[in-house]
């Protein structure tokens, strides 16, 4: 038998989205489309459609930790991402587990609010998130809404985005990818703040179509790139292409739209 080629392995720690466009389902589909074997640690289960969150229930913090520990003991995990983490106790448990795996790059997508506008993270979780988990990141990927909550002011244009990114990367002392997709305009511009430099990533903006799950898909695609050995900049560049194609080639049914997680690049 020919020797099996080694496929990179990545772990996602996130919530389950029943409509499968976001959350752990989006992460797995993205890993798979980009040739990475995905492992999962589920933090909570969300009953929802792209338009509305109906109910969320958490998994116990201990069970979240157990999922992560068994995986890190048994698989050659090359990169990790976090998505919806739900509560302060779950975040604290994850941080204490990952603190002993500092050599594995960690992408933190600080999910707080669904594209539908529904709250996903408990209010009292922010402090633990910022203090315990953010400093462990190889990359933090807030969208404009999340970034404005973190800096306490609204971000309405590119200069404000630059200022916000500088504040965030200095505050947590980690690289930050600030995603500008929610700024009205013809292009979706993201800014990477890393090593004292700012790098721009731009793509045409697709108006008014399936955006539920784009944040999860983008951060999962970056994580897949890091697992495969790409540099941070290369991983972001490929991920931006992937998510832009996934939006442009979205699926449409009668009343529901969803991201296409295997777009042609
Ligand atoms: O898109 C943010 C998000 C992340 N994770 C889960 C979700 C959602 C959005 O609804 O359900 C599990």
Q: Is the CB of 83 under 6 A from ligand 1?
A: yes
Please, what are the domains in the chain?
9-257 (3.40.1190.20)
Provide the H-helix boundaries in 178-255. 214-227, 232-248
- Tens of pLDDT, residues 82-132: 999 999 999 999 999 999 999 999 999 999 988 788 889 999 999 999 999
DSSP string over 70-127: HHHHHS-EEEEEE----SHHHHHHHHHHHGGGTTS-EEE----B-TTS-B-S-GGGHH
Spatial separation of the C-alpha atoms in residues 191 and 189, rounded to whole Å: 7
Distance between Cα 49 and ligand 1 center (Å): 10
Q: Is the CB of 15 under 6 A from ligand 1?
A: yes
pLDDT band at 1 (very low <50, low <70, confident <90, very high): low
* pLDDT (0 to 100) of residue 30: 98
Spatial separation of the C-alpha atoms in residues 50 and 258, rounded to whole Å: 7
Q: What are phi and psi of 227, to 5 degrees?
A: -60, -35
Distance between Cα 142 and ligand 1 center (Å): 14
pLDDT band at 137 (very low <50, low <70, confident <90, very high): very high
Instruction: Please give the positions annotated as active site.
Output: 179, 211, 213-216
Q: Is the CB of 48 under 6 A from ligand 1?
A: yes
Protein residue with least CA distance to atom 10, ligand 1: 114
Strand pairing partners for 13? 41, 82
With 0-12 CB in 10 A as exposed, 13-18 as middle and 19+ as buried, what is 159? exposed
pTM of the complete model beyond 0.75: yes
Q: Is the CB of 109 under 6 A from ligand 1?
A: no
DSSP string over 21-53: SSHHHHHHHHHHHTT-EEEEEEEEEEEEETTEE
Q: What are phi and psi of 27, to 5 degrees?
A: -60, -45
What's the average model confidence in pLDDT over 64-74?
Answer: 98
* pLDDT (0 to 100) of residue 22: 96
Spatial separation of the C-alpha atoms in residues 220 and 226, rounded to whole Å: 10
């Amino acid at each position: 038998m020919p020797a099996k080629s080694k496929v990179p392995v990545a772990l996602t720690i996130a919530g389950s989205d029943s409509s499968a466009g976001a959350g752990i389902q989006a992460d797995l589909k993205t890993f798979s489309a980009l040739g990475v074997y995905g492992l999962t640690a589920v933090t909570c289960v969300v009953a929802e459609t792209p338009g509305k969150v109906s109910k969320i229930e958490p998994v116990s913090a201990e069970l979240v930790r157990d999922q992560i520990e068994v995986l890190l003991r048994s698989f050659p995990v090359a990169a990790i991402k976090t998505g919806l983490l739900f509560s302060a106790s779950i975040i604290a448990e994850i941080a204490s587990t990952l603190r002993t795996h500092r050599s594995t790059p960690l992408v933190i997508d600080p999910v707080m609010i669904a594209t539908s506008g529904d709250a996903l993270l408990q209010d009292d979780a922010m402090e633990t998130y910022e203090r315990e988990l953010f400093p462990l990141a190889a990359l933090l990927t807030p969208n404009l809404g999340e970034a404005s909550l973190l800096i306490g002011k609204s971000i309405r244009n590119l200069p404000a985005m630059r200022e916000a990114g500088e504040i965030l990367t200095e505050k947590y002392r980690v690289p930050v990818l600030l995603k500008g997709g929610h700024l009205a305009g013809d292009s979706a511009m993201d800014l990477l703040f890393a090593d004292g430099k700012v790098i721009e990533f731009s793509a045409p903006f697709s108006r008014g179509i399936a955006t539920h799950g784009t944040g999860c898909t983008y951060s999962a695609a970056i994580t897949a790139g890091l697992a495969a050995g790409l540099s941070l900049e290369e991983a972001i560049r490929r991920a931006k292409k992937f998510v832009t194609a996934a939006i442009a080639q979205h699926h449409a049914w009668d009343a529901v739209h969803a991201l296409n997680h295997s777009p042609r690049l």
